Structure 1
Amino acid sequence: MRIGELAASTGVPTKTIRYYEEIGVLPSPERAANGYRTYGQAAIERLLFVRDARTTGLSLTEISSILSLRDQGESTCNHVLGLLETHLNEIDSHIESLSKTRQQLASLTKRARRLNPSDCNDPHRCQTIAETGIMPTRHRSGAKHLHTAPSAHKHN
């Protein structure tokens, strides 16, 4: 089968298939006399595996490591388990961080509702944000998180 047929069979675009070949996730296919790539059932199975693994959040590097073990005839189960556990821990950590951020935003919203808009006399500084003592920070993931700023006085 040619690359267009492989793409149609797997739902993976031809450009992606070529990229996977380039980085070694998909082995280079046989070439017909006319130079066209020709693929067999193994390419379909491999691409479906890669597609499904990507939906779990695994990177192409991680997927490549799984495929390398499989290509060497080794069991991949323990390796996959380790990768999935790592991703699960990262997601749990992210959820915890997002939950804290959500709590802080809910508190900020509650405070903002109590502020009197007529007291806002500085058009360059939002009273809602300025009086909270909460400042955004960036974490390794690039997501914004909030923390309470150190303060010399309490805000009511």
Structure 2
Amino acid sequence: MKIGELAQRSGLATSAIRYYERAGLLPKAKRGSNGYREYDDATLEQLHVIDIGQSLGFTLDAIRAVLALEGKALQDGLIESLAARLVEIDKMMLALQAQRTSLLETEQKLRQSWVMRPCVNSEPAPPLRPTGSGNR
């Protein structure tokens, strides 16, 4: 299939497919006698793996490493990659929860301190004089 059909079937832009090829995520496409790239169904499957991997937050390097594997090593690599990504996500969730807790505590402290002693600049600012009115 030509790149346009591959793009349509994969849901990716032709520029993305060319990029993945240049980046080594896809094998170099075979060229027809007319010079057009020609792809097979295996390339479509690889594009689906790339798309899924990116949607799950994997780096292109991690995806490239998995795509380089075959057979049982591919299966094991996928499972290991998923497990490692889950650990990363758990760490991010803990860090975000800690940040959330800290933000809530800071907000509460600020509100309490403002009740005890209001801001010195709490008076409204004087109105601005109109500019360019010609009255001086």
TM-score when normalising by structure 2: 0.78
Select the structure that is richer in strand.
1
The one-character-per-residue Cα deviations of 1:65-118 (angstroms, maximum 9, x if unpaired) are: 111112xx4432222222222211111111111111111111122222221497
Number of corresponding residues: 121
Select the structure that is richer in helix.
2
Matched with 1:9 is 9
Matched with 1:28 is 28
Alignment of 1:48-67 (within 5 A): 48-67=48-67
When the two chains are superposed, the root-mean-square deviation of aligned CA atoms in Å is 2.1
**DSSP-derived class of the 1:75 partner:** helix
Alignment of 1:90-109 (within 5 A): 90-109=88-107
Q: Deviating runs (4+, > 6 A) in structure 1?
A: none
Matched with 1:38 is 38
Structure 1 position 87 matched with structure 2 position 85:
yes
Amino acid at match of 1:92: D
Partner Cα separation in structure 2 for residue 79 and residue 41 of structure 1: 22
Percentage of identical aligned residues: 34
Amino acid at match of 1:46: Q
Q: CA deviation at 1:28?
A: 1.0
Do the aligned partners of residues 117 and 22 (structure 1) sit closer, same or farther apart at CA in structure 2, a change above 3 Å counting?
Answer: farther
The one-character-per-residue Cα deviations of 1:131-155 (angstroms, maximum 9, x if unpaired) are: xxxxxxxxxxxxxxxxxxxxxxxxx
TM-score when normalising by structure 1: 0.69
Q: CA deviation at 1:27?
A: 0.8
Q: Which of 1 and 2 has higher RCO (CA within 8 Å, sep 6+)?
A: 2
Gaps of 5+ in 2: 123-136
